[in-house]
Chains A and B, each alone.
Chain A
Amino acid sequence: MAIEVRIHREFDDFKLDVQFQSESRRIGILGASGCGKSLTLKSIAGIERPETGKIESAGKVFFDSAKKIWMPPQERNVGYLFQNYALFPTMTVEKNIGIALRCGKKEKEKKVRDMIERFSLQGLEKKLPGQLSGGQQQRTALARIMIYEPDMILLDEPFSALDSYLKEQTQRECLELLQDYPGTVILVSHSRDEIYRFSEEVLVMDGGKAVIQKTVKELFEHPQKVAAAKLTGCKNIEEIVWKDGKHLYVPGWDMVIPAGMGNVGGAQAIGIRAHEFTTERTESDGELVFPVYKSEVKEDLFEYHVQFFTSERAKTPVVWKVSKKLWDVGEKGVPKRLHLRREHILFLERE
């Protein structure tokens, strides 16, 4: 199972220019709203048509502008789970699941029955989509896709319409249901948690382009690009100015930081995750000390959210998040200084 995508499409105010290739079974596409990730997915399914490029999946050519090939969505055998599930509102759960199946009546009934059991929809067979909860709707939509055994399944922000309690449960269910599915699954999302839980390989999109493609682990450890760092939840991202080979200046924080070792020459920005600061010395080589000059504290359910300036001349605050168990800011106050292991600095490129 391999997928190759190279698509180009121009709009008045937006240009989609994506290129990627993957052998993974679980691919995540991470990007902010309007970065073109949904459009990419729709192009793979054949719902949207790119101007030029090529889309190939497991040896089947879906689209090739050079050879004038365009396979209609009906023939691609690609399942698409829509954000709003797109269940047919006039049909019962049963009918929705079986509608596209082309086989004898007996066989159809049996297959629908199987799906209803597999997706725990018993008792809801005669209900209309409008009478179902969000999670039930999603399971119905998944059953409708799975019944005709697609070669690939595309999930378009499948959990964004659910409230947070339901979201976690549905996510878990959805991943379990997809566990045994042998084909490729592509999940599009702007949520790093979803992407982290789901995918083996991640594609980060920004401004209509695929900026990075990495394994999940690598992406979260070394985001490499500013866009990727932001999407993986890095709160402190600042422009840097190189002083000499060994030191760099962070204008926003008015701080000079030793660059240390490693190949970081191309970096134009640094990033620090808000959880990485410690209140005590880290006892590591060349640890960094952040003086806390002025701070503002917000209390969350399980953690404190502290914004502080490193000096009088600093323009942007540094964000520090700490669990209440580790350091109860409410009781102990904000420390005079915070410590950071040097390896927790992410060196980032703009483009």
Chain B
Amino acid sequence: MEEVRRIMAELDWSPLWISMKTGVVATVISFFLGIYAARKSVQAGPRIKAVLDGILTLPMVLPPTVAGFFLLLIFSVRRPFGAFLYGNFDIKVVQSWAGCVIAATVIAFPLMYRNARAAFEQIDINLIHAARTLGMSEFRIFWTVVMPTAGPGVTAGTILAFARALGEYGATSMLAGNIPGKTGTISQKIAMVIQDGDYLTAGVWVGIVMVIAFGMIFVLNLVLGRRMRHIKRW
């Protein structure tokens, strides 16, 4: 116990902030991209939908290291696009916090997309038809009728995306690396201290990440759940 208190007192908290920042930003990006993609997918014809769906879901079914491989192919400063970004805009994705966000977004996106799509597909098409005959614009229909009705599915997607982004390891370590204080996320920290055989520090971080994950999901459920009282309880 004495040992744990000592570790807590001397702890470098930077992995927590990096993970939280990455998780939040990646979730916000996946939220909008996922909803946009889900909407397009629901409106598309069956063949386009099948192709679109396959591509958009790949990052979820493939090992994260495969995503990391592709991300490196794109963003490495030795590759055309990466060199272009670095040369013209001085943007470096590899070994940077932007890399953390991109890796986490790519991995978390399919969870948002799939859940939103499933929720949109469940919506009674007559609701949208009714809204149209009532003279509501497509934009308004989407934000006042479709989104609230799809609330539970979208919420589930958001929570899962956040959880996934928070814990992302494989693609992040390849693209962003593990630079303490810059790209060193909690998951990477845990892996690193385990390699040093420091189980106690790893345990402390495991505890922290569990508390955060549970807390976030609990709060999100509570807040969004209040707006879903039209759903009957079992």
List A residues at the B interface (Cβ < 8 Å): 42, 45-47, 72-80, 82, 84, 86, 88-91, 99-100, 102, 128-130, 144-145, 148
Contacts and interface: CB of A to CB of B under 8 A. Distances in A.
Interface in B116-141: 124, 126-127, 129-137
A99 B136 contact: yes
B230 A73 contact: no
B187 interface: no
Interface stretch (B45-53, B63-71, B78-86, B144-152): B144-152
B226 interface: no
B127 A74 contact: no
Contacts, number: 71
Interface residues on B, range: 20 to 34
Contacts of A89: 127, 149, 230
A130 B151 contact: no
A128 B228 CA distance: 11
Contacts of A128: 229-230
21 contacts: A45-B133, A46-B133, A47-B132, A73-B129, A74-B133, A74-B137, A77-B135, A78-B133, A79-B134, A82-B126, A82-B130, A84-B124, A84-B126, A86-B124, A89-B127, A89-B230, A90-B149, A90-B227, A99-B134, A99-B136, A100-B135
Nearest to A88: B145
Given A130-B230, A130-B232, A72 B132 contact: yes
A86 B135 contact: no
Interface of B: 124, 126-127, 129-137, 144-145, 148-149, 151, 227-230, 232
B132 to A, nearest CB: 4
B148 A90 contact: yes
B127 A88 contact: yes
Given A82-B126, A130-B232, A88 B133 contact: no
B127 A46 contact: no
Contact of A144 (B126, B132, B134, B151): B134
B132 A74 contact: yes
Nearest to B126: A86
A82 to B, nearest CB: 5
B145 A76 contact: no
A78 B133 CA distance: 6
A73 B138 CA distance: 11
Contacts of A77: 135
A89 B146 CA distance: 10
B130 A86 contact: yes
A46 B132 contact: yes
A186 B136 CA distance: 22
Given A84-B124, A88-B127, A88-B149, 18 more contacts: A42-B129, A45-B133, A72-B132, A73-B133, A74-B136, A74-B137, A79-B133, A79-B134, A82-B126, A82-B129, A88-B131, A89-B149, A90-B148, A91-B148, A99-B131, A99-B144, A100-B135, A102-B135
B187 to A, nearest CB: 37
Contacts of A76: 133
